[in-house]
């Protein structure tokens, strides 16, 4: 997965810290959501030989707002100040849509989690991005 993420990045993708901090938090969440979804789908496909319907049901367990909010709360003490800042920026954004199947607070923290992933991706911190996603899987599997 790390190789895949590195291949997604070209010279123009990696930005300096200042540029990333100026990006719209919802844009960071947008890419973070996609990265996490691909990570989880790949994890589940490699873990089992389930059909697509079952893979989708299993994927939802990891990517739903409640799960991502739980991940963020469990990781909070392990995040750097800058990483937690990315979470807070994403969490505090006003979304154009209301959550359909989630509590508003969980939805906001999930957006913060996704913004963190986007922040790590755009700053080129792929090792840390993969580490956090792997910890996320452990958190959900324990729960």
Euclidean distance between the first and final Cα of the chain, in Å? 24
Provide the strand spans (E) within 1-143. Answer: none
Q: Which of 3, 16, 33, 127 is catalytic?
A: 33
Q: Which residues of 6-29 are buried (b: 16+ CB within 10 A; e: fewer)?
A: eeeeeeeeeeeeeebbebebbebb
Mapped onto helix, strand or coil, the DSSP state of residue 126 is: helix
> CB-hemisphere CA count at 13 Å for 70?
17
CA-to-CA separations, 87 to 17, 53, 67, in angstroms, rounded: 15, 31, 15
Q: 33 an active-site residue?
A: yes
The residues carrying an active-site annotation are 33
């Amino acid at each position: 997965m790390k190789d895949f993420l590195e291949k997604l990045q070209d010279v123009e993708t990696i930005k300096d810290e200042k540029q990333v901090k100026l990006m719209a938090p919802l844009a960071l969440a947008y890419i973070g959501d996609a990265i996490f979804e691909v990570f989880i789908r790949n994890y589940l496909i490699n873990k089992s030989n389930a059909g697509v319907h079952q893979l989708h049901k299993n994927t939802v367990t990891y990517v739903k707002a409640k799960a991502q909010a739980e991940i963020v709360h469990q990781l909070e003490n392990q995040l750097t100040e800058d990483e937690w800042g990315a979470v807070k920026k994403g969490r505090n954004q006003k979304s154009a849509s209301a959550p359909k199947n989630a509590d508003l607070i969980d939805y906001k923290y999930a957006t913060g989690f996704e913004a963190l992933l986007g922040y790590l991706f755009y700053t080129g911190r792929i090792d840390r991005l993969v580490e956090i996603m792997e910890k996320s899987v452990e958190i959900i599997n324990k729960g």
